[in-house]
Every structure is written in structure tokens, then in C-alpha cells.
């Protein structure tokens, strides 16, 4: 990776991935972009920032040529809950945006990172220890775009030898930029509300188990798969990766170790609950561990200690 372009960088993952990549590869070698202008903050202070609408292929080409890009982290997407409210937009950004990126990558010989998701699975998938290769019949538009994306990336690798790679991210928990429209957002919001008010109204039912991961591990996953020796990769575009699996009661229990009076109430959101019920309880990520050494560092306990410390420091 010499010169890297990140799309959708204003979001939860991009805002931290960009800084990590700039630390490793140098600020001028990591070009940050988003459909909305990023005008201030660490992303602006540490390297180039551009506006890119991924539906505008001529703009992607212009930026790839301007900076001699050889690697694209394509993060622009609409998350699962917003995707159910706006399915046409979710398809357009999720599939047409990826198609544009892959076409540019084919023409200009770029490697591409594509984040798939636990959303690529559905109710007929085995939900416990979900295998790497299994049934994928998602019921959300987000899931449909993720399965399509996995297949498109496979196709561009097989047909055009584009170096496409990716992982199936679980819910990602972080404390810099908010997630914005996913089913797993509750696992971020709960920490902020616990610190701020000592109570949280959870949109998912107790007993809803989902895979999750703390942001430092998510960054390691995204960079790790792109830096992996391709000779060892059999599943290049859609590795299951997970770090922990918990339900709302378990995360509330961990929070109570720091905030003993923390109160959890439930007001189930039927759309989010329906999506969550169709997703795995816990994936099997042994292929990622075997093929490129995936090895997450944070469990629920370690993550909770860090989240509470960081959020308390923000004085929200
Ligand atoms: C979402 O909830 O939509 C995302 C995801 C798991 O892909 N966080």
C-alpha cells in the first residue's frame, strides 16, 4: 500500500481507520474522502481531504489519478436500520457505489478493501458458530447489498485479478464518531447514556445475542487483511471476524461494575429486533485466524473498562 484512498471516511470506522493508516503509512499517503465535506478536526490536520460521492465515477477516477492511488478502503455505505427505512438509497450506495469503485480499481490496478457484515446472513443461516461458508439469505436490504458486494468482489478478483479483500464485521463499539443507523448501535449508545444519565432504554430484547468488536480490533482486522500474504488467502472477500458475543443484559452487567446504579429499560424497536433476530448469535472466525492470523485483543470486560474511562474523560 503506497497511496491509500478511503471513501465514506466521515463515518464511525473511517474517522479512526484514517488516523491509524496515517500513523503507519504517513499523512500524505492516506487520502480521506466523504460525500459531506470534512472541514475541521484531526482528519483535516493530518493529511489530504477530498469530497467524493461514490455514485460519481468520474470524481473517483480524478482523485485516484491525482494521488496515484493503489489501495482503496471503500467504507461508504448505509447501515442496516437506515437501510430498511431507505432501501433504494441502501442499494444505490451499497451496490452501485461499490461497482464504481471496483471499475476504477480494475482500470487503475488498485487493491480494494470491502467491509461486509454479519448482515450478510439471514434467518436460515446456522446462527450459532456460523460457519465461514454457509447459507446466506438475508432479509434486510443492507444484507442484500452485503451479499451482492461479497460476490462482486469475488468476481472482480477472479475475472479481472483485482486484489479485493474484506471481512464480515460484527457490531463495532467505539468512542470517537457515532455509528449512525445500525442495528448494533445500542452497544455504543448504552455507554454514553450510562455515563451521562445512569440509565438506558434498549431497542433490542434481553437475550438478543450478537457478535461485537471494539474499534482497535476492527482497525487491526481491516489493516491485517490488506497486509496479509495473499498466497495464504482462500476466502479473500468475506472473512468472518468476531471478538465477543453478548446480549443487552450482559453489557448492562459489565457497566454496573463501574456505575452500580445503572438502570436498563426496554422499548423494543420491531425493525431493529427483526434484523437482529436474523443475524448470527456468534460466528466461527477460525478461517480468519488460520489464513491470516486474526487475533482480537478486547473482550467485553476489557472493552467496557476502556469505554467508560474514555467517555468519562470527555465530560459529556
Ligand atoms: C449495523 O448494525 O448495521 C452494522 C453492522 C453489524 O453491519 N453495525
pLDDT in tens, the chain (316 residues): 699 999 999 999 999 999 999 999 999 999 999 999 999 999 999 999 999 999 999 999 999 999 999 999 999 999 999 999 999 999 999 999 999 999 999 999 999 999 999 999 999 999 999 999 999 999 999 999 999 999 999 999 999 999 999 999 999 999 999 998 999 999 999 999 999 999 999 999 999 999 999 999 999 999 999 999 999 999 998 999 999 999 999 999 999 999 999 999 999 999 999 999 999 999 999 999 999 999 999 999 999 999 999 999 997 7
pTM, rounded to two decimals: 0.97
CB of 183 closer than 6 angstroms to any ligand 1 atom: yes
| pLDDT tens track for 37-85 | 999 999 999 999 999 999 999 999 999 999 999 999 999 999 999 999 9
For residue 258, report the distance from its CA to the centre of ligand 1, in Å. Answer: 27
Q: How far apart are CA 246 and CA 29, in angstroms?
A: 38
**Which sequence spans correspond to the domains of the chain?**
4-170+213-240, 173-212+244-281+299-312
For ligand 1, mutation pick of 183, 204, 222 (most atoms within 8 Å of CB)? 183
Selected catalytic residue, list 67, 73, 142, 186? 142
Using alpha carbons only, give the angle 189, 245, 225 rounded to the nearest 5 degrees: 95
Identical fold, 4-170+213-240 and 173-212+244-281+299-312:
no
CB of 118 closer than 6 angstroms to any ligand 1 atom: yes
Closest CA to 75 of 242, 262, 218: 218
DSSP label of 242:
-
Active-site annotation holds for 214: no
For residue 289, report the distance from its CA to the centre of ligand 1, in Å. Answer: 22
CB of 79 closer than 6 angstroms to any ligand 1 atom: yes
Do the Cβ atoms of 217 and 167 come closer than 8 Å? Answer: no
Q: What is the pLDDT of residue 180?
A: 85
For residue 275, report the distance from its CA to the centre of ligand 1, in Å. Answer: 10
Q: How far apart are CA 94 and CA 101, in angstroms?
A: 11
Closest CA to 173 of 163, 182, 164: 182
| pLDDT tens track for 12-33 | 999 999 999 999 999 999 999 9
Cell 436498563: give the residue: 264
Question: Which ranges in the chain belong to alpha helices (H)?
Answer: 14-25, 42-45, 57-67, 80-85, 87-91, 98-108, 141-160, 186-197, 215-227, 248-256, 270-277, 286-292, 300-314
CATH code reported for the domain at 173-212+244-281+299-312: 3.90.25
Q: What is the pLDDT of residue 115?
A: 98
CATH code reported for the domain at 4-170+213-240: 3.40.50.720
CB of 138 closer than 6 angstroms to any ligand 1 atom: no
Atom 5 (ligand 1) nearest CA: 171
Amino acid at each position: 500500500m503506497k497511496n491509500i484512498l478511503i471513501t465514506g471516511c466521515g463515518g464511525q470506522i473511517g474517522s479512526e481507520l484514517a488516523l491509524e493508516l496515517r500513523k503507519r503509512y504517513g499523512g500524505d499517503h492516506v487520502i480521506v474522502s466523504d460525500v459531506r465535506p470534512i472541514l475541521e478536526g484531526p482528519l483535516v490536520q493530518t493529511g489530504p481531504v477530498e469530497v467524493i460521492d461514490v455514485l460519481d465515477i468520474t470524481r473517483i477516477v480524478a482523485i485516484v489519478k491525482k494521488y496515484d492511488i493503489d489501495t482503496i478502503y471503500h467504507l461508504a455505505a448505509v447501515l442496516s436500520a437506515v437501510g430498511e427505512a431507505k432501501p433504494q438509497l441502501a442499494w444505490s450506495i451499497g451496490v452501485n457505489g461499490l461497482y464504481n469503485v471496483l471499475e476504477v480499481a480494475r482500470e487503475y490496478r488498485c487493491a480494494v478493501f470491502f467491509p461486509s457484515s454479519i448482515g450478510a446472513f439471514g434467518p436460515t443461516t446456522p446462527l450459532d458458530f456460523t460457519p465461514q461458508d454457509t447459507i446466506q439469505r438475508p432479509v434486510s436490504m443492507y444484507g442484500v447489498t452485503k451479499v451482492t458486494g461479497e460476490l462482486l468482489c469475488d468476481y472482480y478478483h477472479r475475472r479481472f485479478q483485482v486484489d479485493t479483500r474484506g471481512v464480515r464485521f460484527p457490531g463495532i463499539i467505539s468512542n470517537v464518531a457515532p455509528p449512525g443507523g445500525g442495528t448494533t448501535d445500542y452497544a455504543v449508545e448504552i455507554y454514553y447514556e450510562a455515563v451521562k444519565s445512569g440509565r438506558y432504554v434498549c431497542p433490542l430484547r434481553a437475550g438478543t445475542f450478537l457478535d461485537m468488536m471494539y474499534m482497535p480490533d476492527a482497525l487491526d482486522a481491516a489493516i491485517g487483511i490488506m497486509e496479509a500474504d495473499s498466497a495464504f488467502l482462500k476466502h479473500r472477500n468475506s472473512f468472518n471476524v468476531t471478538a465477543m458475543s453478548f446480549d443487552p443484559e450482559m453489557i448492562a452487567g459489565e457497566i454496573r461494575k463501574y456505575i452500580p446504579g445503572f438502570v436498563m429499560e426496554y422499548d423494543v424497536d420491531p425493525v431493529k429486533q427483526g434484523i437482529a433476530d436474523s443475524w448470527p448469535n456468534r460466528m466461527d472466525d477460525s478461517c480468519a485466524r488460520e489464513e491470516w492470523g486474526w487475533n482480537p485483543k478486547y473482550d467485553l470486560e476489557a472493552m467496557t473498562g476502556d469505554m467508560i474511562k474514555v467517555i468519562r474523560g470527555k465530560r459529556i
